[in-house]
A and B are shown apart, each in its own frame.
Chain A
């Protein structure tokens, strides 16, 4: 299998994984758009999603992996909401001098806390949830596993559902209102604190879904969220902070970049090891030359 077929399969692989990246990044960008907070614990929400799915499906057992994904999302909804209420509320209320920094610190502290909590409780050994489905789609000598396709498919479904929700539901409209102009929104009767809480929980749940969907493919360890966290930042900045379109497109772009980079960079001894660096380089370039990203507002 050579040439065009090879390129196509590598690209397809990148696209498929990119959907999962996009789902997680979407959560991050939503949180930013409504709360104006960059969530440094996003990777740990992803990690916990994976662990919760593993816990329900393998440890407790007798449950379908799809239910594991839902369970992961529910746990993160609760966790996200609780955290926002306990730690982010003073910031929303305006009681904090330097809210940007406050948000980074408190979410970073959460990330530290969660990562080590899971390490202390569950130990460092990797775990994997059972596959959604065995087998895969074979083209020539290349195969994309069924797990990946199903996970990507579900990610697309979730993203679609989310977009519909934001566009059509009352809560969705309220979220958009708060993200555009918080004070104006509160004048019209929307409770910005409640919107913030809801959005943070929702963003966390999206990260958790991504983690639970990927668990059968890549397995989970306590620090499995570190790389995806950084990747989400890259995607959100590339796409434009707060832009939903940007997060989805950015996720797919980064998925492709990582895949095609590892596949085509001529120096094979380094191509794979530098996988994360390709995205980081794009990140740095975007920050330096077009900080608002593809679809963000001009600063």
Chain B
């Protein structure tokens, strides 16, 4: 036993020192860090396809000759959705892997925990999906964002709720960082608009929502819109449980679901219960797809067996955008990259990217602070599934009116 201990001890030490030695090696390829939740308790169901999209982008660039004559490599930092881990992962990417830029994030709390590192180490960052206003509102030179912000999302969503005439809204809200932020702003906006709303919070591990659903089902007059704001394994469960109970989707009550329901697994888990759910996509509806959108989406589908949804496209675009900036800058110098980003105009999967407000054009007082380094043309649309097994692309777009496929004056499809 003693000998075994000694052997294990020596092996352990050797491993440690070997890794340390290996860590300080040459850096020929251009490394770009990608921070995403790849495992629980993070939203790994979203994070994993986002990572594949970043890989796809990297492959394409290398196939076309690389960046500045060098290969580009995407290096993953798993945040697990936990801010301390996100910070540690970013620290690793910056100091150990020596990345020239970082893209990604799904969770706002993770992005916020990393901001100081980007500032202190002067590393450019493009936010793919963190929604909290503060990410750009803080005005850090290094930080850019191509996703929607909480405020924009709330505005668009509440406008839909108002147009659809929903007066009684019930929410089951998962206690996660993005959820809490969105919930707070939604509540404020709905209160201001005089819409009755009630939120029941739930733990990520909750298996059974039926008691709370039954409580909401008691409302008289009935709930107009139910928001099952769950992204974990419960996302599909809650749809099935609500449907089986006759609560939502039903002819009285619309079921508003999270973007977890963009995944094809929703049909395996919830079946016909998911037939009329309303889902938000942050991006362009299929009718407005660019050439880039169609091409990349097709490629992704062939390789991974599923279409890209908006968050996945954001990951692709943010990675490509970082590479475009490096190309424009002609160097990996962070200040040059930041400069290039401020001046960039590039068409990706979700539209043409540019950042109107930056060091040369500060955010004026009458615009919200989060417009700093924020892509202003982020679009959001809502769609409803109308057949079991549908992909998000085939759903019916119901909002905003300029893209809606419904007749004028109709804002949702009531369930049977």
Whether chain A touches chain B in the assembled complex (some CB pair under 8 Å): yes
A86 contacts chain B at the CB level, 8 A cutoff: no
Beta-carbon contacts under 8 Å, A248-280 to B: 258-260, 262-263, 268-273, 275-276
Inter-subunit contact A125/B201 (CB<8 Å):
no
Inter-subunit contact A272/B40 (CB<8 Å):
no
A36 contacts chain B at the CB level, 8 A cutoff: no
Which of the segments A2-10, A96-104, A168-176, A183-191 contacts the partner chain?
A2-10
With the chains together, A124 CA to B172 CA distance in Å?
Answer: 23
Chain A residues whose CB sits within 8 angstroms of the CB of B217 once the complex forms: 1, 141-142
Number of A-B pairs, beta carbon distance below 8 Å? 99
A143 contacts chain B at the CB level, 8 A cutoff: yes
Inter-subunit contact A221/B40 (CB<8 Å):
yes
Residue from B175, B200, B210, B236 in contact with A271 in the complex, judged by beta carbons closer than 8 Å: B200
Beta-carbon contacts under 8 Å, B186-236 to A: 198-203, 205-212, 214-215, 217-218, 233, 236
With A119-B39, A124-B40, A142-B245 already in contact, the answer to whether A6 and B209 are too (CB < 8 A) is: no
Chain B residues whose CB sits within 8 angstroms of the CB of A10 once the complex forms: 211, 214
Chain B residues whose CB sits within 8 angstroms of the CB of A270 once the complex forms: 201
Closest to A140 in B: B246
B319 contacts chain A at the CB level, 8 A cutoff: no
Chain A residues whose CB sits within 8 angstroms of the CB of B211 once the complex forms: 10, 13, 259-260, 262-263, 271-272
B340 to chain A minimum Cβ distance, whole angstroms, is 37
Residue from B172, B245, B247, B265 in contact with A272 in the complex, judged by beta carbons closer than 8 Å: B172
With A270-B201, A272-B209, A273-B201 already in contact, the answer to whether A263 and B237 are too (CB < 8 A) is: no
Closest to A222 in B: B40
A92 contacts chain B at the CB level, 8 A cutoff: no
With the chains together, A252 CA to B392 CA distance in Å?
Answer: 42
Inter-subunit contact B175/A273 (CB<8 Å):
yes
Inter-subunit contact B39/A136 (CB<8 Å):
no
Residue from B200, B245, B269 in contact with A126 in the complex, judged by beta carbons closer than 8 Å: B269
- What DSSP secondary structure best describes chain B's contact surface? mixed
B268 contacts chain A at the CB level, 8 A cutoff: yes
Chain B residues whose CB sits within 8 angstroms of the CB of A263 once the complex forms: 211-212, 214-215
Chain B residues whose CB sits within 8 angstroms of the CB of A125 once the complex forms: 44-45, 265
With A141-B246, A143-B244, A221-B233 already in contact, the answer to whether A269 and B215 are too (CB < 8 A) is: no
Inter-subunit contact A269/B269 (CB<8 Å):
no
Chain A residues whose CB sits within 8 angstroms of the CB of B201 once the complex forms: 269-270, 272-273
Inter-subunit contact B203/A276 (CB<8 Å):
yes
Inter-subunit contact A141/B245 (CB<8 Å):
yes
Closest to B40 in A: A124
Residue from A9, A124, A142, A269 in contact with B200 in the complex, judged by beta carbons closer than 8 Å: A269
Chain B residues whose CB sits within 8 angstroms of the CB of A268 once the complex forms: 198, 200, 212, 215
With A126-B233, A128-B268, A219-B237 already in contact, the answer to whether A142 and B40 are too (CB < 8 A) is: no
Closest to B235 in A: A126
Residue from A13, A219, A224, A273 in contact with B202 in the complex, judged by beta carbons closer than 8 Å: A273
A41 to chain B minimum Cβ distance, whole angstroms, is 18
With the chains together, A258 CA to B207 CA distance in Å?
Answer: 11
The 10 closest A-B pairs by CB, nearest first: A262-B211, A126-B233, A263-B211, A273-B201, A218-B207, A272-B212, A272-B202, A128-B269, A268-B200, A124-B44
Query: Which B residues fall within an 8 A CB radius of A?
Result: 39-40, 44-45, 172, 175, 198-203, 205-212, 214-215, 217-218, 233, 236-237, 244-247, 265, 268-269
Query: Which A residues fall within an 8 A CB radius of B?
Result: 1-2, 6, 9-10, 13, 17, 119, 124-126, 128, 136, 138, 141-143, 145, 218-219, 221-224, 226-227, 258-260, 262-263, 268-273, 275-276
Q: Can you report 10 residue pairs joining A to B where beta carbons are below 8 Å apart?
A: A6-B214, A124-B39, A125-B44, A128-B268, A138-B246, A262-B212, A263-B211, A263-B212, A271-B215, A276-B205
